[in-house]
Chains A and B, each alone.
Chain A
Amino acid sequence: MSQPIRVLLAKVGLDGHDRGVKIVARTLRDAGMDVIYTGLHRTPDEVVNAAVQEDVDILGVSLLSGVQLTVFPKIFKLLEEKGSKDLIIVAGGVMPDEDAEAIKKMGVAEVLLQDTPPAQLVANLKRLVSERGPR
């Protein structure tokens, strides 16, 4: 039997804007995925530990406080230390285009901007998981 895609959604940093992450959580649940939500104000350490323990397919990081260039390098470094090799990282929130490009270069698979239609969001994540292949 095929297993639901597992996604961990995390708010990293100090901002509490959770409107977007909640919409994403509901959308993914309604598309049949298992969504683990770790709550507000998480640190990169906490998020990476959780993602590895939960062995999710996708780690979604939502932030609207502009700290993307601080947070993502840390996340990638921690994942490497843990030996996690096939985790798909997706970012969401408000950020300038240059920053979105920069974090993609670091290895973020997709940057989901405000107003991404729910159906497209689901399709994109499914595509990313199928491109990765069985694990």
Chain B
Amino acid sequence: MGEYVPSQDLLPRIDRGETVAIGRLITRAEGDVPEARDALANVYKRSGKAHVIGITGVPGSGKSTLVAAMTAKLVASGKRVGVIAVDPSSPYSGGSILGDRIRMTELANNPNVYIRSMATHGEMGGVARSTLATADILDVAGFDVIIIETVGVGQDEVEIVKASHTTVVVSAPGLGDDIQAIKAGVLEIADMHLVSKCDRPDANKTLTDLKQMLTLNAAKIAQSAWRTPVIGVSSLTGMGLDEFIAALEGHRKISVSSEGDKRRLEIAAFRLEKTAKRMLLEEFDKATGSARAELAHRLSRKEGDPYSFALDLVRSVTQ
């Protein structure tokens, strides 16, 4: 059937916004195809125009519906929007069923929207390994806003802060009495808090609780020029969406200020660390495969101890 198109050849097509080329380079980033690294490096250097927004929240908080609603708003205001929707892989098979597109059906045929579903493939922290590379590709392809919707397993999805310029934490009424953001350990990471489903009567309590909790945390927040807003929205009635979009715009202004430089540095440091660690692991796997099997046998026969054997393995890669 088709023949292999070199990744470098995809670049001019991506610049023109050709969907097929964009999709293919993302696939290669996801598969960590060595042939694609130069092209991805090129993309990285040219990226940086788009506003990257991370959306996180516990299951059932209405993230996907919200992403659909905000995307529609942004597109209506003339923006081009890329959406990266991350879902968990099955721990048993490594496979996944990714269903986030269903909530975004109305956007499926809009030429100004690009949606990509992505599985975590064992990655912790709420984003997939190639999420950032994907954001870069969409950035150079001319998307103005890139929305990353995290897994939403409900806890420790803090990596999104280091992957996005603006992090939004979504809570919903009726999911239990506790403040979900606390339970999920993401209260502090938010640049803004959203309470979805505010067409429901029990939403007020969630809003009040969240505001109160943030006041208690005010000490930390006071150091920043940005006041973390708590915004009630309803994807059903459209309430609060304009306020939310305005807040995103406001935060973007901060993220290009000196405070923004700090954020960008954090993002770069994280990216560097992640990429290096992955490369190191790969090297390790490649370089020590046979030695490892041999050492394991010797270890099982008690011919040595795990600490010195492991050190040997590590040194064989790093020296």
Contacts and interface: CB of A to CB of B under 8 A. Distances in A.
Q: CB atoms of A and B under 8 A apart anywhere in the complex?
A: yes
B102 A49 contact: no
A35 B95 contact: yes
Nearest to B31: A3
Contact of A82 (B1, B19, B26, B99): B19
Contact of B109 (A28, A46, A86): A46
B204 interface: no
Contact of A36 (B23, B92, B117): B117
Nearest to B106: A46
A134 B3 CA distance: 8
Main SS of the interface on chain A?
mixed
A135 interface: yes
Contacts of B24: 55, 135
A54 B115 CA distance: 7
Interface range for A: 35 or more
Contacts of B99: 36-37, 39
B117 A31 contact: no
B22 to A, nearest CB: 8
Given A49-B109, A53-B114, A134-B4, A29 B95 contact: yes
B4 A30 contact: no
A35 B89 CA distance: 10
A42 to B, nearest CB: 8
Nearest to A10: B101
B95 A28 contact: yes
Interface string B78-117: 0000000000011011111111011001001100001111
A49 B20 contact: no
A19 interface: no
A132 B4 CA distance: 10
Nearest to B118: A34
Contact of A1 (B31, B90, B98, B108): B31
Interface of A: 1-4, 6, 25-26, 28-39, 42, 45-46, 49-50, 52-55, 82-86, 88, 132-135
26 contacts: A1-B31, A2-B31, A4-B121, A26-B97, A29-B96, A30-B93, A32-B93, A32-B95, A33-B95, A36-B117, A37-B97, A37-B98, A37-B102, A45-B109, A46-B109, A50-B108, A53-B116, A54-B117, A82-B20, A84-B20, A88-B1, A132-B2, A133-B1, A134-B4, A135-B4, A135-B24
Interface of B: 1-2, 4, 18-20, 22-24, 26-27, 30-32, 89-90, 92-99, 101-102, 105, 108-109, 114-117, 119, 121, 282
Instruction: Report, nearest first, the 10 A-B pairs whose CB atoms are least far apart.
Output: A86-B2, A55-B23, A3-B31, A85-B2, A29-B95, A39-B102, A46-B108, A32-B95, A55-B27, A32-B94
